[in-house]
A and B are shown apart, each in its own frame.
Chain A
Amino acid sequence: MSAFTIDTEEQARFLQARHYLVWRKRLLPLAAIIGLVFLWWASVRYFGVRPFIAPSPDAVALMLWRRLDVLMANLMPTAIEAVLGFLLGNAAAIATATVFVHRKTLAEAFFPIAVMINTIPVVAKAPILVLLLGNGMEPKIAIAALIVFFPTLVNMVRGLEAVNPQALELMRVLSASKREVFWKLRAHNSLPYLFSALKIAASTAVIGAIVGEWIGSNEGIGALIIQATYAFDTPLLYATIIVGSTFSACFFFIISAIERFVVRWDSSAH
C-alpha cells in the first residue's frame, strides 16, 4: 500500500510551482549581474571616469575578445601551477592526516607547528619560497600546495576521527583490524569532510599560484595583473581578473561534480 494518491490536476500545479521556483533561482542572480554591469557602464559614462581609473564594461569585453590569445597563453601556466599545487598539497595533507590518526604522538608533536605555519600570510611565505626554489614554476606550485595543505589536513583529521562511536564498537565486536577500521569506516567517513576542504582548496590554489607569480614571473595571470597595472592598461587588468576567476569557478564546479558522484549518501544523517 502506498501513502501517495495521484491527483493529476494537483500534481500539475505542484510541478508548475516548483518549475517556477527553480527558474526564479536561476534567473534572479543573472538579472542582478546584468543590472550591476549596466550600473557600472552608466556611472562610468555619467561621471566621465577616465579609462585607466575604471574602464567601462564594453571596453573590458572588447579587450577579452581582442587579447584572448594573450590571456589564454597566460592562463596556461597559472592553471598548471594551481592544479599541480592542488594535487600535491591535498595528497600531502591526506597522507599526513592518515599518519596523525594512527600515530597520536606525531599528531601531538607536529599539529601545533602546522597551525603555526598556517598563520603566516601567503604574501610573506611567497618570497621565502621563491628564494628557496628559484624563479620557475616550482615556487608557485609550492605556494599553491602550501595554501591548500592546512585546511585539508585539519578537515581530514576531523573526518577520520569523527566516526560514530557505536560504529567503532561494532568493528571491535567484529574483531576488525586497524586497517579494516580505516578502510571500511574512517576513510568513507572522511569523504564529506575532505570534499568541503577540496572545494575551498580549488579557489585558494589559484590564489596561491597568482600570488606566487606576483613575486617573480613574466608569464601567468599574476604576472599579467602586475604588467597591466604598471602600464595603466586597466581594461586588460579587468579582463585578466575575469579570466582568472572564471578558471577558479570552473575548478570549483568540477570538484563539486566529483563530490556529487562520490558522496552519494546523506552525510548529515547518521
Chain B
Amino acid sequence: MAVVALDPVTIPPQATTAAVVCDKVTVRFTTERGTVTALQDVSIAVPSGSLMTLLGPSGCGKSTLLRVVADLIAPSGGTATVLGGRPSEARKRRDIGFVFQDAALLPWRSALQNVELPLEVGGDGTARRPTRTPMELLELVGLNGWENAFPHELSGGMRQRVSIARALVNEPKLLLMDEPFGALDEITRDRLNEELLRIWEQTSVSILFVTHSIYEAAFLGQEVLMLAANPGRVREIVPIDFVSPRRLALRESADFVQRVAHLRRVLESC
C-alpha cells in the first residue's frame, strides 16, 4: 500500500525547495474562559509547486495554521518560513494569495473591479506588472462575459471563482485557500475542484488548501496533512500519488476509494 504515515517531526526544514516550512509552530489564544492551544508544535514542509490539503475535525487549527503562514496571526512559538523568508516579507512582496471561505467580494464593485482591487492597494501593487490581466484571469476561471456583473448577481460558485481570480492577479507563488468551496453545493464543488487543478497545472503556484471534505482532500492533494484537535497537532501526512491530470472519474477508482477509507479511519481517531 502506498499510504505511508510519516513522523512529522522528522521532516527536515528545506528552506530552498519548500514553499512553506513550519517549525514547531504553536499558537495560543487567551479568552475569559482560559487559554486555548490552537496549534501545538506543528512542523510541516510544503514542497514548492505542490498542492497540500489540510484535513481535520473542527477546532484542529487548520484555518489558524493558514493564517500563520499568511502573516495574519503571529505564532506564540516556533517559526514559519514562507518562500525562504519571514511570512511578512512574502506578504509585502505580494507572493501570497488568499481565498476565503465566504468569497469576501466587495459588493459595490463589479466582478472585474473586484479582481483589480489588489492592483490598487498596498503601494507597490502597480509596480508589479502582471502577465495575466484581470480580464484574462476572469477568463481563466470561466467567467468571460460576467466582468460587469455585481456580486449579488452572481451565484455562490461564481463569486468564489471571482475571488480565486482576485487571489491570482498578483501572480502569487503561494495560494492559501481556507475552505473555499465549503459553502457550495456538491455539483458546483466538484466542478470547481477540477478547475482548480487545471489552474494549478497552468500556473506554477504552490497551494495550501484547507477543507473538511475527505473526498476533496484526497482528490486535490498531493499530500494530505491531517491534524488532530485539542490541541491542534499533526496527526499524519498522507501522500496521494495519483498521476496528473486528475479528473473526477478518478474518484470512482478502487485506489481512490481505498485512500478515502484510510483518511476516514485516521480522521475518526483524531
Is the CB–CB distance between A269 and B122 below 8 Å? Answer: no
Within B226-241, which residues are at the interface with A (CB < 8 Å)?
A: none
Is the CB–CB distance between A185 and B122 below 8 Å? Answer: no
Known: A169-B72, A269-B152. A175 touches B107 (CB 8 A): no
| Interface residue? B11 (CB, 8 A) | no
Is the CB–CB distance between A173 and B108 below 8 Å? Answer: no
Is the CB–CB distance between A269 and B100 below 8 Å? Answer: no
| Interface residue? B123 (CB, 8 A) | yes
Within A174-196, which residues are at the interface with B (CB < 8 Å)?
A: 174-177, 180, 184-185, 188, 191
Per-position binary interface string of chain A over residues 153-176, scored 1 when its CB falls under 8 Å from any chain B CB and 0 otherwise: 000000000001011011111111
Is the CB–CB distance between B104 and A164 below 8 Å? Answer: yes
Segment at the B interface, from A41-49, A91-99, A142-150, A259-267: A259-267
Known: A175-B92, A265-B150, A269-B151. A167 touches B106 (CB 8 A): yes
User: Which A residues are CB-close (under 8 A) to B107?
Assistant: 265-267, 269-270
A166 to B70, CA, bound (A): 13
A50 to B87, CA, bound (A): 84
Is the CB–CB distance between A172 and B72 below 8 Å? Answer: yes
User: Which B residues are CB-close (under 8 A) to A191?
Assistant: 108
**Nearest chain A residue, comparing its CB with the CB of B163:** A170
Is the CB–CB distance between A264 and B121 below 8 Å? Answer: no
Is the CB–CB distance between A173 and B98 below 8 Å? Answer: yes
| Interface residue? B101 (CB, 8 A) | yes
A170 to B70, CA, bound (A): 10
User: Which A residues are CB-close (under 8 A) to B123?
Assistant: 175, 177
Is the CB–CB distance between A173 and B72 below 8 Å? Answer: yes
| Interface residue? B267 (CB, 8 A) | no
Is the CB–CB distance between A174 and B102 below 8 Å? Answer: no
Known: A164-B102, A170-B98. A180 touches B121 (CB 8 A): yes
Is the CB–CB distance between A174 and B100 below 8 Å? Answer: no
**Shortest distance between the CB of A95 and any CB in chain B (Å):** 22
Within B193-248, which residues are at the interface with A (CB < 8 Å)?
A: none
**Shortest distance between the CB of A185 and any CB in chain B (Å):** 7
| Interface residue? B118 (CB, 8 A) | yes
User: Which B residues are CB-close (under 8 A) to A167?
Assistant: 104, 106
Known: A167-B106, A264-B108. A174 touches B152 (CB 8 A): no
| Chain B residues with a Cβ closer than 8 Å to the other chain, count | 27
User: Which A residues are CB-close (under 8 A) to B72?
Assistant: 169, 172-173
A175 to B72, CA, bound (A): 11
Main secondary structure, interface of B, reads: loop
**Shortest distance between the CB of A70 and any CB in chain B (Å):** 46
| Chain A residues with a Cβ closer than 8 Å to the other chain, count | 24
| Interface residue? B117 (CB, 8 A) | yes
User: Which A residues are CB-close (under 8 A) to B91?
Assistant: 173, 175
Q: Which of B92, B98, B104, B120 contacts A184 (CB 8 A)?
A: B120
Within B77-134, which residues are at the interface with A (CB < 8 Å)?
A: 91-92, 94, 96-98, 100-102, 104, 106-108, 117-118, 120-123, 125
Is the CB–CB distance between B118 and A174 below 8 Å? Answer: yes
User: Which B residues are CB-close (under 8 A) to A270?
Assistant: 102, 107, 151
User: Which B residues are CB-close (under 8 A) to A172?
Assistant: 71-72
Is the CB–CB distance between B98 and A265 below 8 Å? Answer: no
Known: A265-B108, A267-B107, A269-B107. A184 touches B121 (CB 8 A): yes
A176 to B121, CA, bound (A): 5
User: Which B residues are CB-close (under 8 A) to A174?
Assistant: 94, 117-118, 121-122, 125
A188 to B150, CA, bound (A): 14
User: Which A residues are CB-close (under 8 A) to B151?
Assistant: 265, 269-270
Is the CB–CB distance between B101 and A188 below 8 Å? Answer: no
Is the CB–CB distance between B104 and A166 below 8 Å? Answer: yes
A174 to B172, CA, bound (A): 11
Is the CB–CB distance between A265 and B118 below 8 Å? Answer: no
**Nearest chain B residue, comparing its CB with the CB of A169:** B72
User: Which B residues are CB-close (under 8 A) to A171?
Assistant: 121
**Shortest distance between the CB of B189 and any CB in chain A (Å):** 19
**Shortest distance between the CB of B207 and any CB in chain A (Å):** 15
User: Which B residues are CB-close (under 8 A) to A263?
Assistant: 108
> Which one of B101, B104, B107 has the highest number of Cβ atoms from chain A below 10 Å of its Cβ?
B107
**Nearest chain A residue, comparing its CB with the CB of B125:** A174
User: Which A residues are CB-close (under 8 A) to B150?
Assistant: 264-266
A264 to B113, CA, bound (A): 15
Given contacts A173-B91, A173-B96, A265-B107, 4 further A-B contacts (CB under 8 A): A164-B104, A175-B123, A177-B121, A264-B150
Show 21 A/B contacts (Cβ-Cβ < 8 Å), sorted by A. Answer: A166-B102, A166-B104, A167-B104, A169-B100, A172-B72, A173-B72, A173-B96, A173-B98, A174-B117, A174-B125, A175-B92, A175-B121, A175-B123, A176-B122, A180-B121, A184-B121, A191-B108, A263-B108, A265-B150, A265-B152, A266-B107
Top 4 closest pairs, chain A to chain B, by CB = A166-B104, A266-B152, A176-B121, A175-B122
